[in-house]
Amino acid sequence: MRLAENTAWEEFDKMDTKDKLSDILEDFKSQTAFKEIFGQLESGQYSNVTLHFDTVNKEIGVYTDKHDAKGRPILQWEMNTDTGHTTTTKRTEDGTQVEITHLEIDPATLSKEKNAEKIQKDVQDSREYIAKLE
């Protein structure tokens, strides 16, 4: 499993930014990407999103271009890549109902460096555990 993760990160690193962004666009052409980000969708097709990369605060935002009656995105997803905290907001078209969900993602899974550190710690913990069994 770890070898597969390392291989995937290595392949990802070989891509330039244009390629990575192009892949993101391809992902959002399918409704599967919307379900991955926003969870189960009740109805409707969503074809356009706005991506926001806040490099100072290390936050990523995905906002549907479809808005409710109050001018807010119907679907809104935000993630802090330092903490792994995500917020998903779903609004009804008439703007009368809002559902907000918070989720924590292990930030070590979001970057190559942090993932490598986590792998090293897991390996060390495993070796120590095995040494205790012997």
Give the domain extent around 56. 2-108
The answer to the question of residue 125 being in a domain is no
27-63 pLDDT, tens digit per residue, is 888 777 888 888 877 666 677 889 999 999 999 999 9
The answer to the question of residue 126 being in a domain is no
67-117 pLDDT, tens digit per residue, is 999 999 999 999 999 999 999 999 999 999 999 999 999 887 776 666 667
Say how many domains are in the chain: 1
38: which 2 tokens? 């926003």
For the beta carbon of residue 58, count every other beta carbon within 10 angstroms: 14
The answer to the question of residue 28 being in a domain is yes
pLDDT higher than threshold 80 for residue 15: yes
Inter-CA distances, 28 with 2, 41, 61, 62, 69, Å: 27, 14, 14, 11, 24
Rounded distance between C-alpha atoms, residue 61 and residue 75, angstroms:
11
The answer to the question of residue 123 being in a domain is no
The answer to the question of residue 118 being in a domain is no
